[in-house]
Amino acid sequence: MKELLMGNHAVALGALKAGMTFFAGYPITPASEIMHFLANKGIEFVHTEDEIAAANMIVGSSLSGRKSMTSTSGPGMSLMQEAIGLGHMMEVPMVIVNVQRVGPSTGMPTLPAQGDILQAKHGSHGDYTQIVFYPNSVEECYRYAIEAFNASEESRSPVIFLMDGFVGHLMETVDLDAIPCAIVPRTIPGLGGGNRHFTGLLSKNGIPCTMNSDYYREWFQKMKSKATSVSDRYNFFEYLRGDDAKTLIIAFGIVSRVVLPLIGKYSLFRPIRMFPVLEKELKEIASGYERIIVVEMNDGQYKGEIERVLKRDVEGISLIGGDLDPTVVGEKIEGLSNGKLESYPTEAR
């Protein structure tokens, strides 16, 4: 049955479909609708005192055997980083939703952005491999929320689900029953009774071994290999080829929808699995284009990732400030393609 849904609500429904039975969070614009929607859905629900508590609660809940999730925006995401690192160290499946808004600190709470891209990859300290998804429609909010839980269960690690405020508040008519989905069940047994001790220290068979460098390297390679092999099964992207196009646009989230009218003269590559970067797919597709332009609502964060992977010059258009005018965005792309625009204008209008 078709129904009118908000992106944030679709994420919540996707999480429920995936088997989530515990949610902890603290309300924050523009992600609050996820909490509000889940408050009376019959799951274990905790309105925490802050985002630090929320992130640590889903670590504990997941260890007890429940599929668990939290949602937030930039300021809360910053507070959750230590718990995300703990989840990686302890191999805990959990999903963190970040509906992005403008600016460091409190910034501009009601305006959307894509400024947390690199934070999603490297937000916590130390080395780890982070799986990150980014939808661009209400239907995808539902579908890829399910996939985020699946990837988390398979990799036994935290998975980050990025959106921007536009996608989170987008209203579209969707038929959720028509969306194909498979659910990866929870296979890790709950803790059961008795006293248990878990720690963020490097441990072997439950015993800390903080001076064993060889074992740390062994553990790190195991975790990296596992995350990489799992992410390879979730290599989601969209590629729209323009007739005789010589320029490839790379965009994600709401920006990928804004540039759609230009597809034909240009081609579009839209990563849905943002991290690990879709290296194999990007190299194969990008090899057929003279120019690559990354359009994003930040100061070129993903552009740097694309250059690192492709090892070639990549141009960029940076849309800063939270407002999107499709006409102006089109003019910027046309201007850059014609050599009449600097690569990084800092205004969106």
* CA dist 85 → 82, 105, 192, 224, 227 (Å): 5, 21, 24, 14, 14
What span, in angstroms and rounded, lies between the C-alpha atoms of 39 and 16?
Answer: 12
Note whether 2-186+208-232 and 237-337 share their fold.
yes
> What fold, for 2-186+208-232?
Rossmann fold (3.40.50)
What span, in angstroms and rounded, lies between the C-alpha atoms of 144 and 148?
Answer: 6
Ranges of each domain in the chain: 2-186+208-232, 237-337
Cis peptide before 276 (omega within 30 of 0): yes
Give the CATH number of domain 237-337.
3.40.50.920
Residue type at 238? E
Helices vs strands, H then E, count in the chain: 13, 17
Residues 99, 145: contact at Cβ < 8 Å? no
Question: What does the buried/exposed string (b/e) look like for 311-337 if buried means 16 or more CB atoms within 10 Å of the residue's CB?
Answer: eeebbbbbbbebebeeebbeebbeebb
Q: What is the pLDDT along the chain (349 residues), one digit of tens a residue?
A: 899 999 999 999 999 999 999 999 999 999 999 999 999 999 999 999 999 999 999 999 999 999 999 999 999 999 999 999 999 999 999 999 999 999 999 999 999 999 999 999 999 999 999 999 999 999 999 999 999 999 999 999 999 999 999 999 999 999 999 999 999 998 877 776 666 678 899 998 878 999 999 999 999 999 999 999 999 999 999 999 999 999 999 999 999 999 999 999 999 999 999 999 999 999 999 999 999 999 999 999 999 999 999 999 999 999 999 988 889 899 999 888 776 554 444 444 3
Residues 113, 322: contact at Cβ < 8 Å? yes
Residues 24, 189: contact at Cβ < 8 Å? no
Distance of CA 322 to the CA centre of its chain: 19
**Would strands 67-72 and 94-102 be described as parallel, antiparallel, or unpaired?**
parallel
Residue type at 141? C
- pTM higher than 0.85: yes
**Which phi and psi angles does 81 have, rounded to 5°?**
-60, -40
Within the chain, where are the H helices? Answer: 7-18, 32-38, 51-63, 74-79, 81-90, 117-122, 138-155, 165-169, 213-232, 253-258, 279-286, 301-310, 326-337
Cis peptide before 30 (omega within 30 of 0): yes
